[in-house]
Amino acid sequence: MQYIDQAANITRQRECVVVLGNFDGVHKGHQKLFEVARYEAQKRGLETVVFSFYPHPTWVIGNNPKALLMSRRDKKRMVQHLGMDVLVEYPFTKDFASISPEEFFKDTLIEKLKACVVVVGSNYYFGKNKVGNPSYLKSLGKIYDIDVKVVEAVMRKDQMISSSQIRRLVTNGRIEAANEMLGHPYMIVGNVMQGKQLGRTIGFPTINIVAEPDRVYPPNGVYATKIKVYSNTYLGMTNIGYNPTVNGERKMIETHIFDFNEILYGQEVTIEFYTFIRPEQKFDGLEALQSQISKDKEKIQQYFSDAVNGIAK
């Protein structure tokens, strides 16, 4: 997959199918857009171009910048995994935000990207003051002879799947519901750093990742997780928080990988979250902490065993 993050490099040499959106989380709704784009591209023998923005528009305009479900690196990997040919993360600036929807449609989509098909979700808005809704986009398509495909929202239990809804679920610790909307586990990807190695002293060594300030995280606490490292997947338990028992001062993602004893400093790992186990708490000492972690591990092992055997929670 080709990746483009410079405005000067987006010009295409031949027609393509463009799918528009921010694609934070690359959830089931986004996956449906990609499915439609792939179908339209295969019919015509064309490339698919995913057109997104960075920074997220709310970081540039408005007073409520959104924390993100997924890093740029993870979004790029997921888009590639879903079979898209090109990912554009167009630089979003206040100047760009001020252009009219028709100017964006004509100058960017048609003249530069050479879009012959544009795919959007039914809740997509674009252009200055968000006046460019799907209906208006279809009207522009008729004027400029561009086929505009508006894809209806994907629903879960009468709720529209959206990045905003998934952020709320993750923030409230409703990991299983969030995963249903995502179509894949909520995940944190990062490089392992050296910690205080206190876990080793109580028989539960951990790998440590520093929390990023612009990400959405579940509430502080313990979670059942799976860890991908060296192309293998292991069960584990992850604590998000400040480690109050030992007076931790910065937010960390600490993971104990079951039946794994290798040193991973500097290695990239993927931590997939499956369910909330308990909130973070301060214990009277390391012995009490060790006892609770043992109980947490048993509970998590039972959770995954039940999942394998199809036992409803």
The 10s digit of each residue's pLDDT in 98-128 is 888 999 999 999 999 999 999 999 999 877 6
In the predicted model, is pLDDT for residue 200 greater than 70? no
pLDDT of residue 195: 67
27-31, 168-172, 192-196: which has the minimum mean pLDDT?
192-196
Residue 245, domain extent:
186-283+295-308
pLDDT of residue 244: 61
62 plus 112 within the same structural domain: yes
Amino acid (one-letter) located at 88: V
Phi-psi region of 145 (alpha: psi -120 to 50; beta: other; left: phi over 0): left
pLDDT of residue 205: 87
pLDDT of residue 64: 84
Read off the pLDDT of residues 201-223 as tens digits, 9 standing for 90 and up: 666 889 999 888 889 999 999 99
Instruction: Tell me the torsion sign for CA atoms 171, 173, 177, 179.
Output: positive
115 plus 21 within the same structural domain: yes
Q: What is the CATH number of the domain that holds 140?
A: 3.40.50.620
Q: Distance between CA 159 and CA 179 in Å, rounded?
A: 14
56 plus 143 within the same structural domain: yes
Read off the pLDDT of residues 277-310 as tens digits, 9 standing for 90 and up: 999 888 877 888 888 899 999 999 999 998 876 6
125 plus 235 within the same structural domain: no
| Domain count along the chain | 2
Q: How far apart are the two ends of the chain, measured CA to CA in Å?
A: 39
Strands, E assignment, 77-142: 86-91, 115-121
Beta bridge pairs of residue 273: 186, 225
